[in-house]
Amino acid sequence: MRGAAVPQSLPLARSNAEARVFLRLQPCHVCGSKDCAFDSAVLRVDGELVGRYRGGCAVCGAEREYLFRIPEQVLVPPAEGVRFGDERPSQLLDPGVWLWYSDRCARRLPEPGAALDDSRRRTARHTLATALAAVEEVLKFVPAGASAVPATAFTSVDGRAVYEREPGRFDAARLAALRDHYASTLASW
């Protein structure tokens, strides 16, 4: 790879799932569309594993490419549920973006008691598992012994806006209650 970035300077994508969420949220640098189908490959650059995601914008055709460090130990997706990363907080998405993404997933869920065929139930379960996993990502930003996500953890414009609208949502006990609610609902489906 000519002109490749030094791997240590690249952000860490703890899993393909985390990288894919990040990519879905990035606008095209030419037209602003977020519609892009990315192909991925794993490369070695200076002895380090690097994930490369390339695609063409579906609206204007602009080529898009993102490079991420990936861990030596691959995070295997669970057979049931969703997992975006290990115990470390994300370097790609801040806690505000993770909570927004969880809310977005939760809004797509069917009404309680809705009649679902097997296919719709599987889709709903996956959507709820995704919302649950995103809340778990937010909780990783709460430092040991702290009662909330610190304001300094919100590093993006979008994430900070979510925090500023309702900072109380980032209270550790409130986040844990939301996580537990999603987990118990998922177990009942």
Per residue in 136-189, pLDDT (tens digit) is 999 999 999 999 999 999 999 999 999 999 999 999 999 999 999 999 999 988
Q: Show the CA angle centred on residue 41, arms to residues 133 and 87, nearest 5°.
A: 30
Strands 39-45 and 63-69: unpaired
- What pLDDT was estimated at residue 189? 83
Among the residue ranges 72-86, 114-128, 141-155, the one predicted with the least confidence is 72-86
Per residue in 15-52, pLDDT (tens digit) is 999 999 999 999 999 999 999 999 999 998 888 889 99
- Rounded alpha-carbon distances, angstroms, from residue 102 to 9, 23, 29, 62, 144: 28, 16, 25, 29, 23
- Burial letters 29-53, b for 16+ CB under 10 A, else e: eeeeeeebebebeeeebeeeebbbb
Q: Rounded distance, CA 36 to CA 21, Å?
A: 12
Specify the pTM. 0.91
Q: Rounded distance, CA 129 to CA 100, Å?
A: 15
